[in-house]
Amino acid sequence: MKKTNKAMALILAGMMVLSLAGCSSKPAETTAAATTAAPETEAATEAATEAASEAPETEAAADKTYVVGICQLVQHEALDAATQGFKDALTDALGDAVTFDEQNAQNDTATCATIINAFVSENVDLILANATPALQAAQAGTNEIPILGTSVTEYGVALGIEDFDGTVGGNISGTSDLAPLNDQAAMLKELFPDAKNVGLLYCSSEANSQYQVDTVKAALEGMGYSCEYYAFTDSNDLATIVTNAAGACDVIYVPTDNTAAANTSIIDNICRPAKVPVIAGEEGICSGCGVATLSISYYDLGVGTGNMAAKILTGESDISTMPIEYAPQFTKKYNPTIAEELGVEIPDDYVAIEQ
Residue 59 has pLDDT above 80, yes or no: no
Q: Are residues 124 and 157 in the same domain?
A: yes
* Cβ–Cβ under 8 Å, residues 201 and 242: yes
Amino acid letter at 258? N
Residue 9 lies in a domain: no
Query: Residue 257: its pLDDT value, please?
Result: 96
Whether the pLDDT of residue 330 is over 60: the answer is yes
In angstroms, the CA 155 to CA 45 distance is 55
Are 172 and 139 a contacting pair, CB within 8 Å? yes
In a domain, 38, yes or no: no
Look at phi and psi of residue 315 and say left if phi exceeds 0, alpha if psi is from -120 to 50, else beta. left
How far is Cα of residue 287 from the mean position of the Cα atoms in its chain?
25
Cα–Cα distances in angstroms (integers) from residue 21 to residues 10, 13, 74, in the given order: 17, 13, 95
Task: Give bridge partners of residue 90 from the DSSP assignment.
Answer: none
CA distances from 139 to 80, 173, 259 (A): 22, 11, 21
Q: Write the pLDDT tens digit of every residue in 232-245.
A: 999 999 999 999 99
Whether residues 345 and 238 share a domain: the answer is yes
Element (H, E) at 259: helix 258-261
Q: Are residues 197 and 171 in the same domain?
A: no
Residue 17 has pLDDT above 70, yes or no: no
Count of domains observed in the chain = 2
The predicted structure's pLDDT at residue 234: 93
Same domain, 163 and 304: yes
Other Cβ atoms within 10 Å of 174 Cβ, number: 28
- In contact, 146 and 127? CB cutoff 8 Å: yes
Q: Tell me: the pLDDT tens digits for 63-97?
A: 799 999 999 999 999 999 999 999 999 999 999 99
The per-residue pLDDT for range 113-148, each reduced to its tens digit, is 999 999 999 999 999 999 999 999 999 999 999 999
Statement to judge: residues 207 and 260 lie in one domain: yes
Let me know if residue 150 belongs to a domain. yes
Statement to judge: residues 120 and 105 lie in one domain:
yes
The fraction of the chain above a pLDDT of 90, given in percent, is 81
Residues 155, 122 share a domain: yes
Measured between its terminal Cα atoms, the distance across the chain in Å is 135
Question: Does 200 lie in the same domain as 143?
Answer: no
pLDDT tier for residue 7 given thresholds of 50, 70 and 90: very low
The boundaries of the domain holding residue 142 are: 66-177+298-323
Q: What is the Cα–Cα distance from 180 to 293, expressed in whole angstroms?
A: 11
The C-alpha atoms of residue 14 and residue 68 are separated, in whole angstroms, by 87
What are the strands, taking DSSP E only, across the chain? 66-72, 98-104, 126-130, 147-152, 172-176, 197-203, 226-232, 251-254, 278-280, 292-295, 325-326, 331-334, 351-352
Does residue 273 form part of some domain?
yes
Average pLDDT, the chain: 87
Identify each DSSP E strand in 73-145 by its residue range: 98-104, 126-130
Mean pLDDT within 339-345: 97
Angle at 104 between CA 292 and CA 176, to 5 degrees: 45
| Residues 263-284: tens digit of each pLDDT | 999 999 999 999 999 999 999 9
Q: Please report whether residue 39 resides in a domain.
A: no
pLDDT in tens, 195-216: 999 999 999 999 999 999 999 9
Q: How many CA atoms lie within 13 A of 141 on its CB side?
A: 32
Question: Is 41 among the domain residues?
Answer: no
Q: Provide the pLDDT for residue 62.
A: 57
pLDDT interval class at 349 (50, 70, 90): very high
Residue 1 has pLDDT above 90, yes or no: no
* Residue 246 sits in the same domain as residue 120: no
DSSP type of residue 59: H
Q: Is the pLDDT reported for residue 251 higher than 60?
A: yes
Do 80 and 137 belong together in one domain?
A: yes
Question: Could you tell me if 148 and 132 lie in one domain?
Answer: yes
Burial class (CB in 10 A: 0-12, 13-18, 19+), 329: exposed
Chain centre distance of CA 262: 22
Please tell me what DSSP assigns to residue 273: T
Residue 57 placed within a domain: no
Q: CB-based contacts of 189: which residues, under 8 Å, 6+ apart?
A: 220, 223, 225
pTM: 0.79
Domain of 287: which CATH number? 3.40.50.2300
Q: Does residue 284 lie in a domain region?
A: yes
What is the distance between the alpha carbons of residues 254 and 259, in angstroms, rounded to a whole number? 11
Buried b (16+ CB within 10 A) or exposed e, 209-221: bbbbbbbbbebbe
> What's the sign of the alpha-carbon dihedral 170, 172, 175, 181?
negative
Residues 221 and 337 in one domain: yes
